[in-house]
Structure 1
């Protein structure tokens, strides 16, 4: 049995038997990996282990794997980030649930993707530390994530552009088909791609604009990755923001 060390972000958990669970992680060393965690809800002081595996929680671990095991196991696992606000702020925890489900549905590769992993890890840190601008964070995350999934915009934005979903590009001419961002949403898309995280509050969107922008991004994702349509937490997100 081989051991290895790594970092991970919790994407999803699934109850297994009476006291165990399967934990789906995005890891730095092996992309998406699935772990069996035994005794997670048992008595004897070990039940607190379940608290480590909330959506988007970061962990550091020593894993075990062998050719005879379909699932990895933990030799040791602990919190990877000391989260100050995310577990206690309903708005941030709602965003974390959405982020985790998006990644769970869309990221399937069991190969290291250092750039994607570091983006996700830093996003958890940023969300936890964020003061103002929380309501815009999920838009920022989806906009930036598109680049790491391989279909970010392929050109630069010019004021007054539309955004062609089929071409994945900004354009000065309104597309003749219906798959495009209106000018206002194309402008917001550009802002979210380039505005620093500590300036999210300065992107002045009202609730209606935020819902419209989210729908534009989900349409863009859906054109490239059909699995986005299975994300159920969108409804909860729209109710909160």
Structure 2
């Protein structure tokens, strides 16, 4: 049965000599992997590869069968054409990093319109805005809401935040409690939207430290989560 869906590309890997396996987060089916046969055989077929850059937003018509591990794409076209994400050096670094995070974080093979709409809208925001140095921090924080472990703000005035419990606390109850600059930034981001990100003023070392906190937060709440391989390069770019 042919199915039409929007999709966001998370990763791709060459398979055998001429094929490509593409992992996408789709609007209708959640995580789906597709096998593209013969895309490296000819120039005409190879042109299809350009559609599948990390975090590209696509519209797919697929031959979807429930029990098949790798699905097939019948038609592909761009649903939103980025103007900067794949050409701007710094934004490209963000794309590479976030694609790894999402590939490791998203496991659901079911429809989740709220999550898909969040990804679609925030990536389009990044594409069209020039104040983005802290984009990835707010993105990860907001992503945690869709994955089920957004910080509980009940005691937001408390001097500690427990990463393991996901809540603010008045006593340092574990080694996973944060305070100081990281706590201040967490509270600031919890009250910020993307359009107000330019008001968040931090330096490279503070940005790097808080990113480490957010990745630990993901590790504690997502059993299969792994730190992105691109982390070191990413931190150097945004130091």
Specify if TM > 0.5. yes
Change (3 A) 1:27 1:67: closer
User: Residues 171-201 of structure 1: CA distance to partner in whole angstroms, max 9, x if unpaired?
Assistant: 2x24132102213222212322331212212
Residue 106 of structure 1 is matched in structure 2 by 105
Note closer, same or farther for the CA distance 1:68–1:16 as it changes in structure 2 (3 Å cut). Answer: same
- Kindly state the Cα deviation for residue 157 of structure 1 after the two structures are TM-superposed: 5.8
Stretches of structure 1 lacking an aligned partner (at least 5 in a row):
none
Three-state SS of the structure 2 residue aligned to 1:14 is strand
Say if 1:67 and 1:122 are closer, same or farther in 2 by CA, change over 3 A.
Answer: closer
Shift of 1:236: 1.7
Corresponding residue of 2:77: 78
CA gap 1:159/1:37 in 2 versus in 1, 3 angstroms? same
1:212 matched to which residue of 2? 209
Summarize the Cα distance change of 1:160–1:34 in structure 2 as closer, same or farther, 3 Å threshold: same
5 Å-filtered alignment, 1:22-171, equals: 22-66=21-65, 69-132=68-131, 134-156=132-154, 158-159=156-157, 161-171=159-169
Q: Does the CA contact (< 8 Å) of 1:144 and 1:192 recur in 2?
A: no
For structure 1, which segment, 138-147 or 231-240, has the greater mean C-alpha deviation from structure 2 after superposition? 231-240
Is the aligned partner of 1:185 residue 2:182? yes
Large movers: runs of 4+ above 4 Å: none
8 Å CA contact retained: 2:215, 2:227: no
Residues 61 and 75 in structure 1, CA contact (< 8 A), matched pair in contact too: yes
Distance 2:67 2:153 in 1: 47
Other-structure match for 2:224: 227
Preserved contact between residue 85 and residue 126 of structure 2 (Cα < 8 Å):
yes
Q: In 2, Cα distance between the equivalents of 1:211 and 1:13?
A: 27
Q: 1:202 to 1:36 in 2, by over 3 A?
A: same
Between the aligned partners of 1:217 and 1:70, the Cα distance in structure 2 is 32
Q: Distance in 1 between matches of 2:105 and 2:14?
A: 21
Residues 71 and 191 (structure 1 numbering): CA distance in 2 closer, same or farther, change over 3 Å?
same
Give the Å deviation of 1:210: 0.3
Alpha-carbon displacement from aligned partner over 1:144-163 (angstroms, at most 9, x marks no partner) = 11111100112246456321
Distance in 2, matches of 1:95 and 1:67, equals 33
How many residue pairs get matched?
238
| TM-score, scaled relative to structure 1 | 0.92
Question: Residues 112 and 178 (structure 1 numbering): CA distance in 2 closer, same or farther, change over 3 Å?
Answer: same
State the SS of the aligned residue for 1:188.
Answer: helix
TM-score normalised by L of structure 2: 0.93
